[in-house]
Amino acid sequence: MSILSKKRLVFGFVSLMGVSSISAWADTGTPAIDSSAVNSPAVSATSSASSQQINPTVLKLALNAYNCATKAGVDKQKQLITIIDYSLPSSAKRMWVYNVAQGRVIYNTLVAHGQGSGDVYAKRFSNRGQTHSTSLGLFLTGGVYQGRNGYSLRLVGLEKGYNDSALSRSIVMHGAAYVNETLAKGGRIGRSWGCPAVPKPLAAPIINTIKGGSLLFAYYPDQKWLQNSKYLNCSVNLPQTQAA
């Protein structure tokens, strides 16, 4: 599926949720973000004493992907990027919602990985259906819906071969009772079927913040992905997008 087709599909989902015009998804003309400026106090700004700081290397990669997506014409409505560092154990608060314009963290919380990816640590990743595995790479957030797991957010994978089956696999963000700090203190939270599930009390606030056209960056130090990702290597056959 081409990026253009995916964009049309997401626009359809969002329209069902009340967005009446594709123009509402237009890129805001955000200037490139300086990904080298990742050691400012704002990077570690969090909402609680138990929060986890973002690895500066991971943040720099995420901002590089953000800038590349901007150059590629990916339709971002919001200057936000959600960053998940799957190199950390599931007991760590390894997901951050980062305001790119303000250089600060809005949310920092637990997030589950798929059953097929590992136990305490996610070590295996897949783009294939029926694997119950997590996918890596850059995603675009779409519309919301009420499903089997409650209030959920569709994710469109932007990286062919790594996460572009997210829609067909029903990989979405949702809340889950098995993602909570009590389980985390015991060493491991529960696992999903591949979805980035978050604590139930935070699901709606986070989803409402990032829905409808922000980026999500799922990281793991997988050398093949790091070397082949078109959003981390912007000069390598950068995909072209056009107006829908």
- Token digits for 163? 């996460």
Q: What is the pLDDT of residue 34?
A: 55
- Token digits for 174? 């949702």
pLDDT at 57 over 70: yes
List pLDDT tens digits, range 108-160: 999 999 999 999 999 999 999 999 999 999 999 999 999 999 999 999 999 99
pLDDT at 237 over 70: no
- Token digits for 73? 């014409």
The upper half-sphere exposure of residue 192, i.e. CA atoms within 13 Å in the direction of its Cβ, equals 26
Beta-ladder partners of 136? none
Q: Which stretch of DSSP H or E encloses residue 223?
A: helix 223-228
- Token digits for 218? 């799922």
- pLDDT bin (cut points 50, 70, 90) of residue 32 is low
Contact yes or no for 233/101 (Cβ under 8 A): no
Rounded Cα gap, residues 214 and 128, in angstroms: 24
Which pTM was predicted?
0.80
pLDDT at 10 over 80: no
Pairing label, strands 172-176, 104-109: unpaired
Set out the domains of the chain in order of their start, with CATH numbers.
3-21+33-228 (2.40.440.10)
* Mean pLDDT score across all residues of the chain: 83
Rounded Cα gap, residues 170 and 154, in angstroms: 8
pLDDT at 183 over 80: yes
